[in-house]
Amino acid sequence: MSAQTLSDSDILRIVKEKAESFDRRIWRRDLLESIAALAVFLFFGWLLRDPSWWVRSGALIVMAGSAYVYWRLRRARTRYDTPSPDRPVAEVIRTERAKVKEQIHLLDNILWWYLGPIVLGALLIIVGNGGWSWATLLQTGVVLAVAAGIYALNQRGRRCTFEPRQEELTRLLEQVEEDPS
Q: Write the pLDDT tens digit of every residue in 16-45.
A: 899 999 999 999 999 999 999 999 999 999
Q: How confident is residue 160, by pLDDT bands cut at 50, 70 and 90?
A: very high
pLDDT of residue 39: 96
Each as own residue / partner, the long-range contacts of residues 35-40 (CB below 8 Å, 24 or more positions apart, any chain) are 36/66, 37/66, 37/67, 37/69, 37/70, 38/66, 38/70, 40/66, 40/118
pLDDT of residue 1: 44
DSSP 8-30: HHHHHHHHHHHHHHHHHHHHHHH
pLDDT of residue 31: 97
pLDDT of residue 51: 93
In the chain, what percentage of residues exceed pLDDT 90? 76
Q: Write the pLDDT tens digit of every residue in 103-155.
A: 999 999 999 999 999 999 999 999 998 888 899 999 999 999 999 999 999 99
Q: How confident is residue 70, by pLDDT bands cut at 50, 70 and 90?
A: very high
pLDDT of residue 117: 96
Residues 6+ positions from 40 with CB-CB distance below 8 Å: 62, 63, 66, 118
DSSP 27-68: HHHHHHHHHHHHHHHHHHHHGGG-S-HHHHHHHHHHHHHHHH
Quick check: 56 and 50 in contact, CB under 8 A? yes
Report the predicted TM-score, pTM, of the whole model to 2 decimal places: 0.85
